[in-house]
Amino acid sequence: MHILVTGGSGFLGRHLLQALKDEGYAQLRTFNRSACHDLQEQGIEVIQGDLTDFEAVNSAVQDCETVFHVAAKAGVWGSYRSYYEANVVGTENVLKACQTNGVRYLIYTSSPSVVFKGQPLTNVDERVGYGIPSKMCPYAHTKMLAEQRVLATDGKNGTRTVALRPHLIWGPGDRHLIPTILQAVRKGRLVQVGEGNNWVDISYVTNVTQAHLLALKALSETNSSVGGKAYFISQGDPVQLWSWLNQLLRHLGMPMITKKISARKAYFLGACLELLYKCCFIKKQPPMTRFVAKELSQDHYFDISAAKMDLHYIPQVSNEEGMERLVRWLKTQQK
């Protein structure tokens, strides 16, 4: 039986496929929009298609016992429809295909943003309710809708489901989060939002892949209690965001972040830029949005006790070791 990873060409997807290989799983398959010749060369079966195409998704799921649904449209800017189709319709197609093909286990990669309400999140656990529907961030809202569908499907037609909520995944191989920050620093465009003392959770990519494997193991246990549940995943060791970023820049020999803007001004600027970009039909992301202003200035870290208890998740790579690995990798990319 095959294991399918949707979005296997992405940052987390690639690490997850490698972790599965290291665990001895030989029949691996990925579903992507691109051909991913490098993955094929590693013996991984690649099926091309779009999540919104049920027939393509169904073809990818055939003969699979386990599905890791990692693929999603991420980001903070774009039409609500584009996020809804990729994240909600795409997940509905995966769920339907799993039930049609008798998939036993579905591990869904969700996001802590599903509980975003515009207010600080200080060491909250899974008892915190879902976020308030808002157009401030279509990614957060559509991931919330998708997660609800995944958890509500647990047990139907024999498919057990669980959702993981890793926060700010980072590490070697990242082509988006850290590179975007470094590019902004090089252009002198990264500005500290707020007082700079906000604490945030981060999730080293190896720890996140470990959590996915542990979720599969927990789901497959007799009388498993994790089905239909969601779990926050992180280092379990929050960092002060702006101090952590400056530490990374110091390791790379780059200038520190010294420019500042108040949280209130950043939020107002984001609102104005959102309106301007929408009125002028500008597709690229504004340099500031209301959601980004909130995320860069507020606390958002989580209690991972449930993951430790139910999944036996203990982060193996610390923030310090992760920083060393990331810096070494980034320096190889600069050559």
**pLDDT score, position 128:** 94
The whole-angstrom separation of Cα 207 and Cα 166 is: 9
Between CA 266 and CA 244 the distance in angstroms is 21
Q: State how far the alpha carbon of 314 is from the alpha carbons of 209, 211, 228, 251, in Å.
A: 12, 9, 21, 27
Task: Give residue 214's pLDDT.
Answer: 98
| Residue 196: C-alpha distances to residues 130, 245, 263, 271 (Å) | 27, 11, 10, 21
Neighbour-count burial for 245-255, b at 16+ CB within 10 Å, e otherwise: bbbbbeeeeee
Q: What local confidence, expressed as pLDDT, does residue 335 receive?
A: 60
Identify whether 128 is part of a domain.
Answer: yes
CB atoms < 10 A from the CB of 77, how many?
18
Q: Which domain holds residue 53?
A: 2-169+203-234+300-315
**Which distant-in-sequence residues (6+ apart) come within 8 Å of 316 by Cβ?**
206, 207, 210
- Per-residue pLDDT, 259: 92
**What are the Cα distances from residue 143, in Å, to 160, 238, 268?**
19, 23, 25
Q: Is residue 98, in this structure, part of any structural domain at all?
A: yes
Pick left, alpha or beta for residue 36 (phi over 0 → left; psi -120 to 50 → alpha; otherwise beta).
Answer: left
Three-class DSSP category at 330 = helix
284 occurs within a structural domain = no
Contact 301, 238 (CB under 8 A): yes
Query: Total structural domains in the chain?
Result: 1
Whether residue 290 is contained in a domain is answered as: no
pTM > 0.85 = yes
97-127 exposure pattern, b = at least 16 Cβ within 10 A, e = fewer: bbbebebbbbbbbbbbbbbbeeeebeebebe
Contact 189, 269 (CB under 8 A): no
Return the active site residues: 139
In a domain, 100, yes or no: yes
Residue 115 placed within a domain: yes
Q: Nearest 5°: phi and psi at 119?
A: -115, 160
In whole angstroms, give the CA distance from residue 333 to residue 335. 6
DSSP element (H, E) containing 30: strand 28-32
The answer to whether residue 88 is domain-embedded is yes
Could you tell me the CATH number of the domain that includes residue 6? 3.40.50.720
The answer to whether residue 241 sits within a structural domain is: no
Give the chain's residues under pLDDT 70.
Answer: 335
